[in-house]
């Protein structure tokens, strides 16, 4: 049995997914062209703040909430015509999450390089 390291998983995911920087994400939010999704855990938001105009779906619930049969999905909280831009604290979880959403069939999905760390140093407002 060979068990892959997290570095291997992320490296493999990065070959398949779209990565954008915080400035590109800010422009997409400003132009109303994306759903900005924060996949950090709730205690992370409580400790460091929430990004204005972002939707919180913890990493552990992402695939469940974005299942077309889920109540969250059916409530229309996300605009599926827009790109889903995910971020976590540093970019590892969001890279793996984007790969998982690709595996589910989502095509317009990306993640922010450097996660909340780079977001908090950009034009985004933290509330």
- How do residues 11-46 score in pLDDT, each as one tens digit? 999 999 999 999 999 999 999 999 999 999 999 999
In a domain, 125, yes or no: no
In a domain, 45, yes or no: yes
User: Which is nearest to 39 in space by CA: 4, 66, 9?
Assistant: 66
The total number of residues written for the chain in this structure: 127
3-class secondary-structure state, position 62: helix
Range(s) of the domain holding residue 50: 18-119
In a domain, 10, yes or no: no
Number of domains comprising the chain: 1
Proportion of the chain above pLDDT 90, given as a percent: 94
In a domain, 103, yes or no: yes
How confident is the model at residue 77, as a pLDDT? 86
In a domain, 3, yes or no: no
In a domain, 60, yes or no: yes
Q: Is 4 exposed, middle or buried (0-12, 13-18, 19+ CB in 10 A)?
A: exposed
Residue 92, domain CATH? 3.40.250.10
């Amino acid at each position: 049995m060979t068990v892959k390291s997290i570095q291997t998983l992320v490296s493999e995911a990065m070959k398949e997914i779209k990565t954008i920087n915080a400035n590109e994400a800010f422009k997409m939010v400003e132009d109303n062209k994306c759903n900005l999704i924060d996949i950090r855990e709730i205690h992370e938001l409580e400790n460091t703040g929430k990004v204005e105009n972002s939707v919180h779906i913890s990493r552990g619930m992402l695939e469940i909430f974005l299942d077309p049969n889920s109540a969250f999905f059916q409530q229309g909280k996300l605009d599926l015509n827009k790109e889903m831009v995910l971020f976590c604290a540093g970019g590892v979880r969001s890279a793996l999450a984007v790969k998982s959403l690709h595996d589910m069939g989502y095509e317009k999905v990306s993640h922010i390089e450097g996660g909340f760390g780079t977001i908090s140093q950009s034009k985004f407002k933290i509330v």
